[in-house]
Amino acid sequence: MKKLHPFVRYQDNPILTREDIPYWSNTVFNAAACKFRDEYLLLLRVEDLNGHSHLTLARSEDGYRFKVEEKPWITPSTDPEYEVYERYGIEDPRVTYVPEDDTYYITYTAFGPHGPRVGIGRTRDFEGFERIALITEVPNKDAILFPEKFDNQYVMMDRPGGFAGSTGAIWVQYSPDLVYWGRAQALLAPQPGWGNSKLGSSTPPIKTEAGWLVLYHGVRETPSGRIYRVGAMLLDLENPAEVIGFTPNFIFGPEELYERVGDVPNVVFPCGVIVEDGHIKMYYGAADSAIALAEARLEDILALCYLAKSTETHTRF
């Protein structure tokens, strides 16, 4: 089969499966990624045998071969402020380093009897982790913080809605302190086609001369289930609520067996990217059962973002 441009899968994919987790688990998928003190780190979503998720660190010297830590790092909170909202697990982390604060912020989906909502916490050393707040109501997920402030405000993308048959769009919100959020605006919404049901931001914004580059996922509802694929959008450097362009076609989707077959078939779900020398390493969950890696040249993704500046494939507001 002719391979899609511009991502190339790592030859030894998948890079992590439950065989690599030192304790009993059901699956590992949807990992955040960053570099820290010359190491590549993945913050893995590990689903236990009860079907609830927690977060475990994996470390690597080369970005390809990871060693998973012996024990979970962030588990659902027992603090009464959080407990009910994290009772069924914490999922799909994203890590954003904010140089101004010299801090790594971790956003995650907290899942409990009321549904999914977003939590945020911080670390400086990937040893201690301090929760800051639960920052959305339900239902909401796929929240990612920008690495810079805009007019002294933190900015995050999130994905309210998208449950019980409703569609879900990517939004932005602002906060002076990471606790209180508002001025919400819709950014990019589903349209008929590959992302007809839900869109959600996937990976933390990458600053380029052309704008903030964000990979996002689009969900297509089909008679035999959902297909999760990946697109890219470019946001204005000064105003992250302004979409400069996006890829009208998906640029990555499930093709390999490990992406087609698993607990949830036909899913590629990136949560982390690492950029080095103009190349991007995209770490993605495959079929909710493994973690895989694909690489692309940054400029190739940027070029594809200019194909759509208007409303052809997705609705802009």
Q: Rule CB under 6 A: is residue 92 a binding residue for ligand BMA?
A: yes
Q: Six-digit token pair at 32? A: 């955040």
Q: Which stretch binds ligand BMA (CB under 6 A): 122-130, 185-193, 251-259, 263-271?
A: 263-271
Q: Six-digit token pair at 304? A: 């594809």
Q: Which stretch binds ligand BMA (CB under 6 A): 56-64, 149-157, 244-252, 261-269?
A: 261-269
- Pick one of 57, 213, 235, 267: the residue that binds ligand BMA (CB under 6 A): 267
Q: Is 164 exposed, middle or buried (0-12, 13-18, 19+ CB in 10 A)?
A: exposed
Total residues at interface with ligand BMA (CB under 6 A): 9
For residue 262, give every residue at least 6 positions away whose Cβ sits within 8 Å of its Cβ, in sequence order, or none: 27, 286, 287, 288, 289, 290
60 with 66: CB under 8 angstroms? yes
Cα–Cα dist 83/88, whole Å: 9
Of 190 and 240, nearer to ligand BMA (C-beta) is 190
316 with 243: CB under 8 angstroms? yes
Q: Six-digit token pair at 87? A: 């009772």
Q: Which of residues 8-37 bind ligand BMA (CB under 6 A)?
A: 30
**How many residues are recorded in the chain?**
317
Q: Which stretch binds ligand BMA (CB under 6 A): 58-66, 121-129, 246-254, 262-270?
A: 262-270
Q: Rule CB under 6 A: is residue 228 a binding residue for ligand BMA?
A: yes
Please give the residue whose beta carbon sits closest to ligand BMA in the complex: 264
Q: Which stretch binds ligand BMA (CB under 6 A): 4-12, 72-80, 264-272, 299-307?
A: 264-272
For residue 38, give every residue at least 6 positions away whose Cβ sits within 8 Å of its Cβ, in sequence order, or none: 61
Q: Rule CB under 6 A: is residue 158 a binding residue for ligand BMA?
A: no
Of 199 and 298, nearer to ligand BMA (C-beta) is 199
- Pick one of 4, 264, 275, 303: the residue that binds ligand BMA (CB under 6 A): 264
- Pick one of 269, 282, 284, 286: the residue that binds ligand BMA (CB under 6 A): 269
Q: Which of residues 276-295 bind ligand BMA (CB under 6 A)?
A: 285, 288
For residue 16, give every residue at least 6 positions away whose Cβ sits within 8 Å of its Cβ, in sequence order, or none: 28, 31, 42, 44, 58, 66, 68, 290, 291
Residue ranges binding ligand BMA (CB under 6 A):
30, 91-92, 228, 264, 267, 269, 285, 288
